[in-house]
Amino acid sequence: MSSLIAIEDAGHVRTIRLNRPEVKNALNQELAWGIVTAIEDAMKVDDAWVICLTGTGDAFCSGLDLRGPGDYSPKSPLTTQLDDLSWVSEFLLTLRQKCDKPIIGAINGVAVGAGLSLALATDIRLMKRSARILAGYPRIGGSPDGGMTFTLSQAIGYEQTMRFLLENKTVDAEEALRLGLVGEVVDDDRWEARVAEYCQGLCATVSPITMRLTKRTVVKATTAIDLEAQCRLELSSIRMAFASEDGKEARRAFMEKRPPVFRGR
């Protein structure tokens, strides 16, 4: 297990915490694969009925670490070479399709880019009142990945998804609730207690068999597309966007804190 992941077990709830608070839990390869591995491990523990995914410190996940993701992989060199989906697509595929246990996304702070994709891949979301979310992709010249094109449009519909992605506006907790991005907003001073109360409440009122079968059937009923194919389309699109001159200009402008100058090439 990655040292960048903290695991806590309480009752029948396993909490997985992203643990890079010094960089607002920005994703490098080790942390990202650590999340996937932690979910896979929790799937195998019969006594863990509910999984809670959250962040350490004042952030859920600030997205990709732009200083560099590193070269860590839990897979063999050859398997890594053949992996065309990598961790960013595994967020959606593992959390939704592979794991049939309910995963509660406890958005304790900022969630941006791939960090927001991770949050949206969870089944039920609670959001701290002071937290903020942002697509983030346009400011670095990219299109969405991590399954966001599926989870976001599933949650809030086509036009609101287009607005959210293209306008790239920061959304507070109340607006996130209004849009349907989260199901509950929790005051900061009640945050830890309410998340624990919610997760334990599920365990007290619903059997683990019922929870797993419910998720299996709801996921099946609401997934009318080939998720792997959609993830591959996302990745080919973001690679094209990043490779363009405009994509490079967007990242330079972001790092230099100035408006970008786009030329359509």
Q: Is 50 helix (H, G, I), strand (E, B) or coil?
A: strand
Eight-state DSSP code of residue 27: B
Q: How far apart are the first and last CA of the chain?
A: 43
Q: Indicate whether 2 pLDDT > 80.
A: no
pTM, two decimals, is 0.86
Amino acid at 191: W
What would the two tokens of residue 77 be? 């060199």
Query: What pLDDT sits at residue 1?
Result: 58
What would the two tokens of residue 5 be? 């992941």
159-216 residue pLDDT tens: 999 999 999 889 999 999 999 999 999 999 999 999 999 999 999 999 999 999 999 9
Going from the C-alpha of 165 to that of each of 63, 109, 134, 217, 231, the distances in angstroms are 15, 19, 8, 29, 17
129-147 residue pLDDT tens: 999 999 988 777 888 888 8
pLDDT band at 229 (very low <50, low <70, confident <90, very high): confident
* Least confident among 48-57, 62-71, 110-119: 62-71
Pairing of the two strands 124-128 and 171-172: unpaired
84-115 residue pLDDT tens: 778 888 999 999 999 999 999 999 999 999 99
pLDDT band at 39 (very low <50, low <70, confident <90, very high): very high
Q: What is the 3-state secondary structure (H, E, C) of 8-25?
A: EEECCEEEEEECCHHHCC
CA angle 34, 228, 251 (to 5 degrees): 65
Query: What pLDDT sits at residue 62?
Result: 95
- Using CA atoms, how far apart are residues 89 and 20, in angstroms rounded to an integer? 21
- In the chain, which residue ranges form alpha helices assigned H by DSSP? 29-43, 77-82, 86-92, 114-120, 148-156, 158-167, 173-179, 191-205, 208-222, 227-243, 245-256
Cβ within 8 Å of residue 80, ≥6 positions away:
73
Whole-number average pLDDT of the chain: 91
